[in-house]
Chains A and B, each alone.
Chain A
Amino acid sequence: MAQANLLNELIAGLRCLPGVGQKTAQRMAYYLLERDREGGRQLAHLLDASMEKIGHCQQCRTLTEAELCNICANGSRDASLLCIVETPAEVAILEQSIDYSGRYFVLGGRLSPLDGIGPKEIGLDQLDKRLAEGEVKEIILATNPTVEGEVTAQYIGEMAKGYSIRATRIAHGVPLGGELEYVDGGTLLHAFAGRAEFMQER
């Protein structure tokens, strides 16, 4: 019965993926075993190698197997602009969506005292050193619009102020193509508080 156990273990193992429940895991396991063993082997190999070799960039803390990630290693990126994000996934999204020539710093979380996460746990001592070096002229706070994200932005904003570095916060509000009527009150409140100049004086 060893084979049946292994299959069960595989199904249980697949369930560690986000959004994958028992049924989906079962479908995945049977699919790989019956239809695509080569793909399965390739995946197993990649998973193993990734878990072994991918670490964090020494400068910005995003995921990379090298000492420095592609962005940090790229000398043509503007080192005076530093965008602060919560996760490596957000770096990828921003890179795909906007034309940004500066660099990043990845917190790997957000300040959340009740989860035991304070400034040190999200690498703010490392960020402090980076700011102290004097190369950064503006930080762009791209933490999420949750209470914890706001607290994090606030704390880092104060750090920047201590070094007389300009701090900006990305705007939060009504989604593009959305209508005010269908936006929740909290989002509206934020959008209103963060309104920006519309007709610039010449």
Chain B
Amino acid sequence: MQLYECYILHRRDYRNSSLLLEIFSKELGRFPAIAKGVKSNRSKKQGELQCFHPLQLGLAGRGEIRNITTIDSERRPYMLTGTALYCGLYLSELLMRMTARNDPHPVLFEQYEQTLAELAQGALLDHALRYFEIGMLETLGYGLLLNCQATGEPLQPDLHYHYKIEHGPVPVTGQRRDRSTLRGSTLLALSRAEPLERVAAQEAKRLMRSVLAHYLGTKPLKSRELFRPIKPSLSDKI
């Protein structure tokens, strides 16, 4: 019987003792599946069917919703704690919103797993999220142009650029610098996957927000609320 490499993006109770899961699989992409009877007291499987746990699942059924027939969880879950846990949910939401069902992207699966590992190891969260976002867009065919201008000319590290979506960086003159522009040095650092200093990290965050907003449409990502304290006066963290 074939087993598929999978992560759970979302789970909800289904009927009395079952779970309805949204699965992200290396071989099959994203799809819904039911795990029958796992919520009964006798089953040990419920604790394993959690987000961030690398699973090998056997599947049956041809309809839109598959049935899970085998659950193999030899590997341990990525233990995300603190703000890294919010980042994990943010990744789940990004994958739900950015991928279509039954559209496999093995590379994206690896990027996701790699990012989970970084988050679990206590890597810089900002850094891990930005490079996941950039990698995901690349894999899904919306790759950003980060190592040269939209025209193909080289970037100057200390000049400011406006990122024109689906074109690339366009230089701006001093007066028109605002929150939507970023320095050439930041773009170059992103293109080389280098660590980002504080200002560069802020610039990169704003860039990725506006790019993602373009592909996600008007509905904002709900998981971003987790990074904000309940009091609106305090500013965002991620």
Q: Which residues of A contact B (CB under 8 A)?
A: 18-19, 111, 113-120, 124-125, 128, 146-147, 150-151, 154-155, 158-159, 162, 182-187, 189, 193
Contact = CB atoms under 8 A, between A and B. Distances in A.
A189 B79 contact: yes
B93 interface: yes
Given A185-B48, A193-B79, A113 B229 contact: no
Contacts of B47: 184-187
B115 interface: no
Interface in B66-87: 73, 76-77, 79, 81-82, 85-86
A151 B44 contact: no
Interface in B179-238: 221-223, 225-226, 229-231
List the 6 closest A-B pairs by CB distance, nearest first: A113-B223, A113-B222, A186-B47, A118-B225, A184-B44, A184-B47
B50 A128 contact: no
Interface of B: 9-10, 12, 16, 22, 44-48, 50-53, 73, 76-77, 79, 81-82, 85-86, 88-90, 92-93, 96, 221-223, 225-226, 229-231
A147 B86 CA distance: 10
A114 B226 contact: no
Contacts of A120: 225, 230
A81 to B, nearest CB: 21
A186 B46 CA distance: 9
A182 B42 CA distance: 10
A154 to B, nearest CB: 6
Contacts of A155: 86, 226
A185 B74 CA distance: 9
Contact of B226 (A116, A151, A187): A151
A162 B47 CA distance: 32
A124 B9 CA distance: 24
B230 A159 contact: yes
A187 B85 CA distance: 18
Contact of B48 (A115, A151, A186): A186
A113 B230 contact: no
B89 to A, nearest CB: 6
B76 A124 contact: no
Contacts of A18: 16
Contact of A119 (B52, B85, B96, B225): B225
Nearest to A124: B230
Contacts of A19: 16
Given A150-B85, A184-B44, A186-B53, A125 B230 contact: yes
B230 A119 contact: yes
A193 B81 CA distance: 11
B50 A114 contact: no
B50 A186 contact: yes
11 contacts: A18-B16, A113-B90, A113-B221, A113-B225, A147-B50, A147-B52, A184-B44, A184-B46, A185-B47, A185-B73, A186-B77
Contacts of B89: 113-114, 147, 151
